[in-house]
């Protein structure tokens, strides 16, 4: 089975190929990082094993460059089988709550453009007995997709005590340097998404992000504290896909390192 055909529209996106200079940097940086963090990694592995049952490494299929699917590695920071509890936490999804706060999910049947103009702003559709203009229908579908595409919970109850400390300093990301050595990822790129998120981002408006390499850090990570909606995150991913170059990568790496050593808590 060709796993690269798992998502519709995938054939319309050309596979991104990492240049030799970027690949050389990735391999060198990742080797040095794994050597530097190896004593700490051993301590964290012991702490995770002592606190809770389950594998030390969390492995998950993720979608990266050109919709390629690969096995993504992190230190386990949640209880075993935490992904099975997502449905119980949907009401706590910060992205969904932000959309509600901004009013993007209220009165979705009423088109603001039609209301302002005093007449339909686009052709009328009839869906289950409800009259709706085409523009508002597209707006509604976009909101539904964004609700499903991103999931983040503040003070997630699935996170263990050791896991909370590990996440605060992003030590759970260390095993991803192995992904970089394998060629699945780059040090800098767009965050590879779980399958349940990526399957909702197959339209041209959003799928451009998959033309960039999958990365450990990137534009949206260094701007995480400034982001308030999924649209902003996707916009930064698309922006990186368009402007990716060695100078941009270097600036992102430097800002990430500064953030790390300042122990500034972010949410990537």
pLDDT digits (tens, 9 = 90+) for 22-39: 999 999 999 999 999 999
237 versus 16: which is more confidently predicted?
237
Q: 89-103, 137-151, 189-203 — which one is most confidently predicted on average?
A: 189-203
Domain match, 243 and 112 both: no
Domain boundary residue among 103, 131, 149?
149
Domain match, 139 and 180 both: no
Give the model's pLDDT for residue 257.
85
Domain boundary residue among 149, 170, 191?
149
Domain match, 234 and 132 both: no
Please report which confidence band the pLDDT of residue 2 belongs to, taking 50, 70 and 90 as the band edges: very low
In this structure, is residue 72 part of a structural domain? yes
CA dihedral 154, 160, 164, 166 (to 10 degrees): -140
E-state strands within 120-262: 124-127, 130-133, 186-188, 193-194, 215-217
Helix and strand numbers, DSSP H then E, in the chain: 11, 7
Give the model's pLDDT for residue 3.
47
Domain match, 167 and 241 both: yes
In this structure, is residue 52 part of a structural domain? yes
Give the model's pLDDT for residue 128.
57
**Residue 262 near residue 232, CB atoms below 8 Å:** no
Domain match, 164 and 251 both: yes
In this structure, is residue 268 part of a structural domain? no
Q: How distant, in Å, are the alpha carbons of 81, 205, 240, 244, 245 from that of 234?
A: 28, 9, 10, 15, 19
Question: Where in the sequence is the domain holding 49, given as residue range(s)?
Answer: 3-87+159-261
C-beta neighbour count of 123 within 10 angstroms = 9
Q: What percent of the chain has pLDDT over 90?
A: 35
Give the model's pLDDT for residue 9.
46
Give the model's pLDDT for residue 189.
95
pLDDT at 143 over 90: no
Domain match, 197 and 233 both: yes
Report the predicted TM-score, pTM, of the whole model to 2 decimal places: 0.70
In this structure, is residue 27 part of a structural domain? yes
Whole-angstrom distance, CA of residue 155 vs CA of residue 157: 6
Beta partners for 78?
159
Give the model's pLDDT for residue 206.
74
Domain match, 144 and 163 both: no
In this structure, is residue 137 part of a structural domain? yes
In this structure, is residue 267 part of a structural domain? no
Domain match, 193 and 104 both: no
Domain match, 103 and 235 both: no
Domain match, 57 and 179 both: yes
Domain match, 245 and 113 both: no
103 versus 84: which is more confidently predicted?
84
pLDDT at 267 over 60: no
In this structure, is residue 124 part of a structural domain? yes
Domain boundary residue among 126, 149, 172?
149
Interval 212-240 mean pLDDT: 83
pLDDT tens figures, 37-79: 999 999 999 999 999 888 999 999 999 988 889 999 999 998 8
Domain match, 172 and 48 both: yes
Give the model's pLDDT for residue 115.
75
**Residue 96 near residue 144, CB atoms below 8 Å:** no
Give the model's pLDDT for residue 13.
46
In this structure, is residue 189 part of a structural domain? yes
- Number of domains comprising the chain: 2
pLDDT at 200 over 80: no
pLDDT at 166 over 50: yes
């Amino acid at each position: 089975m060709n796993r690269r055909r798992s998502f519709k529209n995938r054939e319309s996106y050309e596979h991104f190929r990492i240049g030799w200079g970027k690949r050389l940097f990735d391999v060198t940086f990742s080797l040095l990082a794994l050597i530097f963090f190896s004593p700490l990694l051993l301590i964290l592995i012991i702490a995770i094993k002592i606190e809770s049952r389950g594998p030390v490494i969390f492995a998950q299929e993720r979608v990266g460059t050109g919709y390629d699917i690969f096995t993504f590695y992190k230190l386990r920071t949640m209880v075993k089988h935490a992904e099975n509890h997502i449905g119980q936490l949907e009401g706590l999804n910060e992205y969904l709550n932000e959309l509600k706060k901004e009013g993007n999910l209220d009165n979705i049947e009423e088109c603001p453009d039609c209301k302002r103009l005093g007449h339909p702003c686009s052709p009328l559709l009839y869906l289950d007995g409800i009259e709706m203009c085409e523009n508002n229908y597209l707006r509604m579908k976009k909101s539904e997709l964004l609700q499903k595409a991103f999931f983040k919970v503040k003070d997630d109850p699935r996170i263990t005590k050791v896991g909370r400390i590990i996440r605060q300093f992003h030590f759970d990301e260390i095993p991803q340097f192995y992904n970089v050595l394998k060629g699945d990822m780059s040090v800098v790129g767009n965050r590879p998404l779980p399958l349940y998120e990526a399957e909702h981002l197959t339209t041209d408006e959003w799928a451009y992000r998959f033309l960039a390499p999958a990365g450990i850090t990137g534009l949206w990570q260094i701007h995480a504290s400034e982001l308030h909606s999924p649209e902003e995150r996707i916009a930064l991913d698309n922006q990186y896909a368009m402007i990716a170059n060695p100078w941009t990568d270097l600036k992102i790496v430097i800002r990430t390192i500064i953030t790390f050593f300042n122990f500034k808590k972010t949410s990537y």
